[in-house]
Structure 1
Amino acid sequence: MISRDNATPLQEQVAEDIRQRVRDGEYEVGAKLPPLRELRETYGVAEVTVHNAIRELQREGVLVSSAGRGTYVNALPASQGSGDDVDKLRRDLASLSSRVERLEKLVGGADSAGA
């Protein structure tokens, strides 16, 4: 997580943590990032620090923002990833698993309503 004892600037630590969450599939491609206030609380840093980390990730192409809609995971550029096909497969599997869970909830809710 974030360490004030680390020589790496806080915004770079935040950016790296978000990158890692994208790599791990915690933040899926197309997923909306939590609001700045929530991220500020999560990392225990100033909102401007989170904002600067997000801007860095936007420049890299990891995140995209839409005015009034929020910030979304775009993709992890190949230069930022491990280059390992297994990592990509893990991310894809995590994404598919999450989608299946959402669909199952929708179908389960529809079955309950019709019963």
Structure 2
Amino acid sequence: MTQLGTGSVAPGTGGLDEFVHTPARLAILSLLAPADWVAFSFLRETIATSDSALSKQLRALEEAGYVESFKDRSARRSTSVRLTAHGRSAFETYLDALEQLVARARGAG
């Protein structure tokens, strides 16, 4: 078993990465996956969370190498976030494992 943020898999979960499976992180990654860069404010509003709670989750994802952020130092002082190649790969692996669990639950696996 590997460390959290690097593919830690819980036994009996069909390979679901525990780090990604956290609801807040899962919500963030699902919003980042189809996009290039996503505004911090969009993430906060869509997930309906506070700045501090979102910052905490983004910091964990960034420390794990799943996301990177860009702070625009202009007058707007906005922050944007995107998946790294490692984060995209980890999320795709998570989705594959989830799809296998769903198929098994529906009798197809």
TM-score by length of 1: 0.45
**Which protein is bigger by CA-based radius of gyration?**
1
Higher normalized strand content (fraction of residues): 2
TM-score by length of 2: 0.46
